[in-house]
Amino acid sequence: MARVDPGRLDGLYGQLESHLADRVVSRTVEEVAARLAQCERLWQQEHWGELRKSARSLIAISDQLGLVSIAKVAADVTRTIDACDLAAVGATLWRLLRIGEQSLSAMPLQPELSG
């Protein structure tokens, strides 16, 4: 199940003017989508070191927007790579791709700000 922390978005919109926050969110969502696609491609090419690096970058990027599920599963992907468990890498990566799609589609265009 995809989880999004709306508090992260509220904080971002609280710090920036709305149009600037919209741009940051849009760019970050695009970056997450690109990294997910890159992870899939790297897995298919069996580039484990690059896949690990790409999954690690997803942790930080996703965390910025409160994409909690993506960050957690991306960390799981890196752990399976570190354990050299290729079956687990594949299973965990597919979970990351599925949760990534769900999380990105759950992102509100403009979060409801409290107060």
Q: What is the pLDDT of residues 42-73, one digit of tens each?
A: 999 999 999 999 999 999 999 988 899 999 99
DSSP H helical segments within 1-115, as ranges? 6-15, 18-44, 48-65, 68-82, 86-106
pLDDT digits (tens, 9 = 90+) for 89-102: 999 999 999 999 99
84: left (phi over 0), alpha (psi -120 to 50) or beta: left
Structural domains in the chain plus CATH codes = 6-106 (1.20.120)
Say what the alpha-carbon torsion angle 7, 10, 15, 16 is, to the nearest 10 degrees. Answer: 140
pTM score: 0.86
**DSSP 3-state of 49:** helix
**DSSP 3-state of 19:** helix
* Eight-class DSSP state of 67: -
